[in-house]
Amino acid sequence: MKRTLTLVFSLAFTAGCGSGDGMGEKGGGKWGKKQGGPVEAVPVKTEKLGRGPIALRLLTTSTVDPVRRVEVVSKATGKVKELLVAEGEKVAAEDVLARLDDEELALAQKKAEVGEKKAKDDYEHMKTLLAEKYVSVDEFRKAEQTWQTAKLEVESANLALANATVRAPIAGTVTRLDVQKGKYVTANAAFGEITDLSELECVIYVPEKDVFRLREGQPADVASESLNAKFTATVKRINPVIDRTSGTAKAYLALSDPGNRLRPGMFVDVSIVLEPHDKALLVPKKALVFDEGRPGVFVRKGEEAKWSELELGFQEKDIAEVVKGATEGDEVIVVGQSGLKDGTKVKVMAE
């Protein structure tokens, strides 16, 4: 029994010995950091705030359209005897596109000309008889009226024969054909389409709040993703009426395309500067950190990162305008700011 008590006492004594203060090794706090030890600085990269241009822009999409595109219709009825063009061909104004079967129209014209010649001869004869008082004035007037009617019939027959030849109403490119040789067409039926590709435009729809910032002659930038190219444009005209349904106004942009690369129907991105700020204080968007939706940045002050809430103005793809909360020359953290807190120690990484 004595031996067992001696062993327990010995173990208890041994456990009580050690560092002497009963605390063990320093550290082992809540975040695993040694108590009293140095806090390691977070490596970051910084940029100084400077001034530069930024603008409020209208960004939208549109499609390329020709200024002149004309629907060609047949003015006569008949079978297509000759088709002289194909889709994609260029034509000048009044070029012959097709000819219809005009045999009946030619016969009608000759018949009208014969009738007009007889009516004229009758009129001349009646005029002689009137001078010799063999006929009355009424009889003479009737012969004169018959001749005038015959002349109109000749003009009508000539016009019908001319309409059997389908001509291009404008210069341009044949972009659609609805007929082929041998097809029977009727008057006013769709024949095809001619598009003038030398002058192109695009239509944009401007929100009501931005309409009054837009003006005729204002420059615009137009980009085509399919061509991987940029073009310039000018605001040509603005419809003053606001559409009730969409709350937008229609505006037309004249496109500049010296290389004739754009094609009607292409999708393009449009950017128009509505209000420029030439000397704005600019912050890189990559520096922004949001606290419950409020934008801000961490500014390096000596060896610490200080949180500064910002009021932003205009914004573009990679930059934003600082209205309040920072000053020119502030060194903002652009890399490593995620997870920082106000007062965190930082060190700038070498490039």
Q: What Cα–Cα distance (Å) separates residue 14 from each residue in 9, 19, 221? A: 9, 12, 84
Can you tell me the mean pLDDT for 261-274? 95
CB atoms within 10 A of CB 194: 27
CATH 2.40.420.20 applies to domain 42-54+278-348: yes
**pLDDT band of 127, cuts 50, 70, 90:** confident
- CA dist., res. 81 & res. 176, Å (int): 19
| CB of 249 closer than 8 Å to CB of 239 | yes
| CB of 70 closer than 8 Å to CB of 192 | no
| CB of 221 closer than 8 Å to CB of 202 | no
- CA dist., res. 154 & res. 157, Å (int): 5
End-to-end CA distance of the chain: 75
Tell me the fold of 70-192.
OB fold (Dihydrolipoamide Acetyltransferase, E2P) (2.40.50)
Q: What is the DSSP letter of 287?
A: G
Residues 233-251 have pLDDT tens digits of: 999 999 999 999 999 999 9
Beta strands in the chain (DSSP E): 42-48, 50-73, 78-83, 90-91, 96-100, 165-167, 172-177, 184-185, 190-207, 219-224, 229-238, 248-256, 267-284, 289-291, 294-301, 304-309, 311-315, 319-324, 331-335, 344-348
Structure tokens at 310: 């910002």
From 2.40.30.170, 1.25.40.10, 3.90.1070.10, 3.30.1330.10, which CATH number describes the 58-67+196-276 domain? 2.40.30.170
- CA dist., res. 93 & res. 168, Å (int): 5
CB atoms within 10 A of CB 320: 21
The pTM assigned to this predicted structure is 0.67
Domain residues of the chain, as ranges? 42-54+278-348, 58-67+196-276, 70-192
In the three-class reduction of DSSP (H, G, I as helix; E, B as strand; rest coil), residue 317 is classed as coil
Helix axes of 137-163 and 103-131: crossing angle, nearest 10 degrees: 160
Residues 188-215 have pLDDT tens digits of: 989 999 999 999 999 999 999 999 999 9
Residues 20-46 have pLDDT tens digits of: 333 333 333 322 333 444 568 899 999
